[in-house]
Amino acid sequence: MKKIGKLLVATLVAVIFLVQAVPSVSASANTSYVLANEMEASERGALNGWQQRTINVWSGTRYIPNTGWYFYVNGNRIVGWLFQGGQQFYLSANASHPVLRGRMVTGPATIGGLQYYFRSNGAMATGWFQRAGWGDHWFFSNHAGVMQSGTWLQYGGQWYWFVAGSGAMARNGIHTVNGVQHRFAANGVWLGQV
């Protein structure tokens, strides 16, 4: 009986030790998230500026490594808009996984109901730009970075139409805008109604 008691106590001590050694876990409806690669509190205070981090996220069946860029100030991960080095960045405030909050956004993003595009280095696009995977299509974001989509733009004395949804500039032929057919040149310049 003493052996069983000692074995039970040893097992409980081992379980308590293991529970304390496991990284923090929080759960939502069907998924658990584990921040596996965070540093000790004493090391976090030394983090400042851009840091590339790999954070393992539990998917329900396995850990999935997510590598991304984060910005820290005195060890605290920044979330939201960041102006740095003359460029505007957005650090995800609504990541798909809570542990990925603050990850630098790249590619298209909808923020506050507005469409933006962030280059591969995370910098917000303004003016004319092309998107990876869209061939030679052109897009335009105003000075605040908001993409033109489903709207006309007068630029350099010429008119351009940007297709609703994708924001791609209409070009090369006839496109229907608000139920009316319009003709556009190869460079996207509006040539008039058909």
Give the per-residue pLDDT at 70.
82
Please check the confidence at residue 157 and state whether its pLDDT lies above 50. Answer: yes
Q: What is the band of 95 on the pLDDT scale with cuts at 50, 70, 90?
A: low
Residue 41: enclosing H or E segment and its boundaries? helix 41-44
Cβ–Cβ under 8 Å, residues 116 and 146: yes
List CB contacts of 57: < 8 A, sequence separation 6 or more.
Answer: 33, 34, 63, 64, 66, 97, 99, 100
Please check the confidence at residue 8 and state whether its pLDDT lies above 80. Answer: no
% the chain with pLDDT above 90: 47
Handedness of CA 65, 67, 68, 72 (dihedral sign): positive
Burial of 85 by CB count in 10 Å (0-12 exposed, 13-18 middle, 19+ buried)?
Answer: exposed
Calculate mean pLDDT across residues 126-149.
93
In angstroms, the Cα distances linking 161 to 15, 134, 156 are 64, 17, 14
Calculate mean pLDDT across residues 8-30.
32
Q: What is the band of 133 on the pLDDT scale with cuts at 50, 70, 90?
A: confident
Residue 159: enclosing H or E segment and its boundaries? strand 158-162
In angstroms, the Cα distances linking 145 to 62, 103, 128, 161 are 37, 19, 11, 17
Residue 99, SS3? helix
Calculate mean pLDDT across residues 175-186.
95
